[in-house]
Amino acid sequence: MHDGTLHVSIGKDAAVSLSRPAGTCRWAQDVMQVNPVMLRQRQTVQQAIENFISQQLDTLLVVKEADLSRFMKLAGRVCIKDILHLILPSLLRKDMKEFHDALAIPVDDVVIAHPKTMTPWAGIVDVVTAMLADYTQVIGIEQDEKLVGQVNSGSILKLVLDTASAGSAIGDNYSSYFSQLCVNDLMAGYVICLEPDDDIARAICLFLATAIRYIPVLDKQARLVGIVSQQDILDYVASLMDPVSVSVFENKDSILDRPVSTLLHKEAQVVFGKAELSCAAKLLADQSCDCLAVMDSQNKFCGILSHSEIFNWIVRHPQIFSS
């Protein structure tokens, strides 16, 4: 333990080696992280925000304080949306004291208790299904009621790519079929959008009211300006936590009234709709890229591709993980 961060270490940082039951599916243990970063119950909301930003995930598992000396036991999980829901009222009221008071609250006060977990022998399709059902990028892995690791969406996507590549090499029908898909086949074509002048408060409200993690920002001519994510919102919130930087926000009218375009500090990753899905998935497998803007042949925005679209396809085609 150091710097308020908890690392679970069980053997190596790779998947834990366990005997497998008979069967043909890939198991959660194949992609399980046994040294993930987790939160403790008494850590603060501010520490949670710092970990969300450093880990680039929308969900962090929380472990019970009382069991740390013997084993890890899951207390629950906390999501970015839980943090936004907590701090939004103070920012809407432009009450910075209330905002900083909220940052000091123990994360246990906002934890989602009894989240869905899986065993090391759960099938990958079952793990993906649980992620989609709970709108999360992280699933805890428990064995004998002890937390032994976690699976995140990035590790599953890499397994999908490896499986599809191997299937193409041996002529496996289902895996080869994945390799033949193009981005248009899976992209989300109907998405909620924002305009550059829409304020940050509107973006936060859309994130809280829906299951989306990314919102395209389009100008009056429907041209892509960028994509704002929950992580972008959290980065902005983090800037409000810094006492040195808070003087910038002395004009309290600008806290959430600023245009959402001010959050767009990096260009959106773009892919064409007719591009091979496997190539787009490789971009998504990069931890720095969780969402792709899809463009048509006239370079017009037509949708997005994220982990969720690929995972929905996996649920409909579970045979990709059969031997």
| Cβ atoms of 282 and 161 closer than 8 Å | yes
In the structure, what pLDDT confidence band is assigned to residue 56 with cuts at 50, 70 and 90?
confident
Alpha-carbon distance of 231 to 238, in angstroms, equals 10
Q: Rounded to 5, what percent of the chain is helix, strand, coil?
A: 45, 20, 35
Closest CA to 79 of 45, 54, 40: 45
pLDDT surpassing 50 at residue 11: no
Alpha-carbon distance of 211 to 198, in angstroms, equals 20
| Cβ atoms of 281 and 84 closer than 8 Å | no
Contacts of 284-288 with C-beta under 8 Å, sequence gap 24+, read 284/157, 284/310, 285/154, 285/157, 285/158, 285/161, 287/56, 287/154, 288/56
Over residues 83-103, the mean pLDDT reads 92
Higher pLDDT, 24 or 242: 242
SS3 assignment, position 78 = strand
- What pLDDT does residue 96 have? 85
pLDDT surpassing 80 at residue 78: yes
pLDDT surpassing 70 at residue 119: yes
pLDDT surpassing 50 at residue 10: no
Over residues 68-94, the mean pLDDT reads 88
- What pLDDT does residue 52 have? 94
In the structure, what pLDDT confidence band is assigned to residue 252 with cuts at 50, 70 and 90?
low
Higher pLDDT, 178 or 211: 211
Question: What is the CATH superfamily name and number for domain 160-321?
Answer: CBS-domain (3.10.580.10)
- What pLDDT does residue 167 have? 55
- What pLDDT does residue 245 have? 54
In the structure, what pLDDT confidence band is assigned to residue 71 with cuts at 50, 70 and 90?
confident
**Would you identify the CATH topology of the domain 6-152?**
CBS-domain (3.10.580)
Report the mean per-residue pLDDT for the chain. 84
As a three-state string, the secondary structure of 199-253 is EHHHHHHHHHHCCCCEEEEECCCCCEEEEEEHHHHHHHHHHHHCCCCHHHHCCHH
Where do we find the tokens 């009218």?
Answer: 253
Alpha-carbon distance of 151 to 124, in angstroms, equals 10
> pTM of the full predicted structure?
0.84
Q: Name, in order, each residue with C-beta under 8 angstroms of 222's C-beta and a sequence gap of 6 or more.
A: 300, 301
pLDDT surpassing 70 at residue 47: yes
Closest CA to 197 of 216, 215, 219, 213: 219
- What pLDDT does residue 2 have? 39
- The one-letter code for the residue type at 101 is D
Specify the domain boundaries for CATH 3.10.580.10 within the chain.
Answer: 6-152, 160-321
| Cβ atoms of 55 and 37 closer than 8 Å | yes
DSSP string, 263-304: G--SPPPEEETTSBHHHHHHHHHSTT--EEEEE-TTS-EEEE
